[in-house]
Amino acid sequence: DGGITQSPKYLFRKEGQNVTLSCEQNLNHDAMYWYRQDPGQGLRLIYYSQIVNDFQKGDIAEGYSVSREKKESFPLTVTSAQKNPTAFYLCASSLQGVGNEKLFFGSGTQLSVL
């Protein structure tokens, strides 16, 4: 959907380097999510945020960090502590509450290690 934008489309990380993936939405959604997609493993939850200035760890948060200073933005930093960062990263957003669980995904960022 055009309402959620991820950048860059491709990103390369050197050893020991931190990199930040951008996610912006203009859907006025309260909740935002980061998922990691690896072949054969589906989508695994890294971090999520239900409201500005608050976020929670997902299933694979180690080596990642996030911030939610604005409702529209939920950047993901892949730190040097993440030893296997090569993956496709998907950001998503949704409204809150029962009946509003539908996720709207960005087009993703492919991160590779040099």
Partner 1 sequence: GENVEQHPSTLSVQEGDSAVIKCTYSDSASNYFPWYKQELGKRPQLIIDIRSNVGEKKDQRIAVTLNKTAKHFSLHITETQPEDSAVYFCAAQDTGRRALTFGSGTRLQVQP
State both tokens at 86: 């090569």
Residues 6+ away with beta carbon under 8 Å from 100: 94
Based on the shown chain and the rule CB under 8 A, indicate whether residue 41 belongs to the binding site for partner 1: yes
The yes or no reply on residue 42 touching partner 1 (CB under 8 A) is yes
User: Burial level of 88, CB count in 10 A (0-12/13-18/19+)?
Assistant: middle
Which amino acid is present at 96?
A: Q
Task: Find the shortest distance in angstroms from Cβ 29 to partner 1.
Answer: 13
Report DSSP state, residue 15.
Answer: T
Smallest separation, CB 24 to partner 1 (Å): 15
- Check binding of 105 to partner 1 (CB under 8 A): yes
Q: Which of 18, 26, 107, 112 binds partner 1 (CB under 8 A)?
A: 107
74 binds partner 1 (CB under 8 A): no
The structure tokens listed for 39 are: 């072949």
**Site of interaction with partner 1 (CB under 8 A):** 1, 31, 33, 35, 40-45, 48, 50, 56, 58-59, 90, 101-103, 105-108
